[in-house]
Amino acid sequence: MMRYLESFAIPVGALLVSLLLFGLFITVAGVNPFDVFASIYRGAFGSWFAWQDTLVRAAPLMLTALCTALPARAGLIVIGGEGAVVVGGFFAALIGIVLNGVFPPFLVILGMMLVAAVAGAVWIGAVGALRHLRGVNETISSLLLNYIAIALLNFFVVGMLKDPATLNKPSTYPIGDANMLGAMGSSSIHWGLGIGIIVCVVLWFLMRRTTFGFGVDVVGGNVRAAQLTGLPVGRLIITACALGGAAAGIAGMIEVAAVHGRANTSLNAGYGYAGILVAFLARHNPLAIIPVAILLGGIRASGGVLQRAHDLPDATTLVMQGIIFVVILASEALYGRLRWLQPKAQPA
């Protein structure tokens, strides 16, 4: 029980400290911090409309966060979520265009999701393989792969896959209205949120409740120890990377199938990079990613209200995210150090 209390109390405490620091920053900027907090609440969680706004923005972050969180459990810092989103979205659109009208929408959507997951898995799996087999730094290689993915997308979107009707915003042909992911119930939230939550829960189970997940954690904790115990280190690293890549690939598919209906440069809207922040805040725990993504979605949603109500620049929300990031990372040092949060010593 106390173990859970600690992993709850420290992040929440860190969050409150960062809100305090952010309040100071706002005061220095000449705005009443309580008005600003009120606006954040109003824009992010103050009404059903605000909640929908928050959740829709959180959906892609859940999946892109997994792209950093899973490899991180194996000890790799991967920042290639953006590229995996682009590749996943691109291949999803490609398969959607080919299958449009040939199969019923359910199968087309399933096909798009599978292909996007495989594309993302290969993309980030390659990062893991390069690291394990050739010793290439995974942070650098995954960052550079982002640029390659965007360049490939540009090449096809202005070239052979361009729909001539999209004159000034080059895009691929549409996947067809019938094959779009709709909204959940009567809300305006698309099914991307549901898929994101399901993937997070499934991967949490895999990482925390199976021998595979335990193996990955051992590799991340101490590679030498993992090798000595005979764990298949390479396979674990590459699989963890591939699973993360698959999640980000699905995020790309959702952007195509729930939002744009075709692939274009709007795929690289920065969700891959925002996901890195979510993963670190959630301490690479797939289940914790869900609330953290919602929190960040809320901050993004309220960013607009801050600009409109207080004439604060958009960078204000970035400052807030930055403060939260730094304080949470600093709070990592507190684990196991606060005596009142430790389990009582067992009587001898």
Positions that interact with other proteins (CB under 8 A) = 13, 16, 19-20, 34-35, 37-39, 41-43, 46, 49-50, 52-53, 56-57, 150-151, 154-155, 158-159, 167-170, 188, 190, 255, 258-261, 264-266, 269-270, 300-301, 303-305, 307-309, 313-314
Q: How crowded is residue 241: how many other Cβ atoms within 10 Å of its Cβ?
A: 31
CB of 307 to other proteins, least distance (A): 5
DSSP 135: -
* Smallest separation, CB 328 to other proteins (Å): 16
Q: Closer CB to other proteins, residue 9 or residue 223?
A: 9
Element (H, E) at 208: helix 192-209
CB 116 within 8 A of CB 92: yes
- Report whether 94 contacts 100 (CB < 8 A): no
Quick one: which of 83, 78, 70, 219 has its CA closest to 137?
A: 78
Contact 278, 88 (CB under 8 A): no
- Which is nearer to other proteins, 57 or 284 (by Cβ)? 57
Indicate the burial class of 177 (C-beta count within 10 angstroms; 0-12, 13-18, 19 or more): exposed
Q: How far is the CB of 70 from other proteins (least distance, A)?
A: 24
Shortest distance in whole angstroms from residue 33 CB to other proteins: 9
Question: Distance (Å, rounded) from C-alpha 7 to C-alpha 72?
Answer: 18
Q: Which is nearer to other proteins, 122 or 163 (CB)?
A: 163
Cβ-based nearer residue to other proteins, 20 or 107: 20
Q: How far is the CB of 39 from other proteins (least distance, A)?
A: 7
Residue for token pair 């399901």: 198
- Tokens representing 231 are 């764990």
Nearer to other proteins, 194 or 270 (CB): 270
What Å distances lie between residue 160 and 164, 170, 173, CA to CA? 10, 11, 10
Alpha helices in the chain (DSSP H): 2-28, 33-44, 48-73, 81-99, 105-129, 138-158, 192-209, 211-221, 223-228, 233-254, 271-281, 286-310, 315-331
Please give the Cα distance from 71 to 135 (Å, whole number).
Answer: 15
CB of 38 to other proteins, least distance (A): 3
Minimum distance, C-beta of residue 26 to other proteins, in the bound complex (Å): 13
Strand partners, 183: 190
Of 29 and 309, the one with the shorter C-beta distance to other proteins is 309
Least Å distance, CB 267 to other proteins, is 9
Of 10 and 242, nearer to other proteins (C-beta) is 10
The H-or-E segment that residue 316 falls in is: helix 315-331
**Rounded to an integer, what distance in angstroms lies between the CA atom of residue 33 and that of residue 12?**
20
Closer to other proteins by CB, 139 or 307: give it.
307
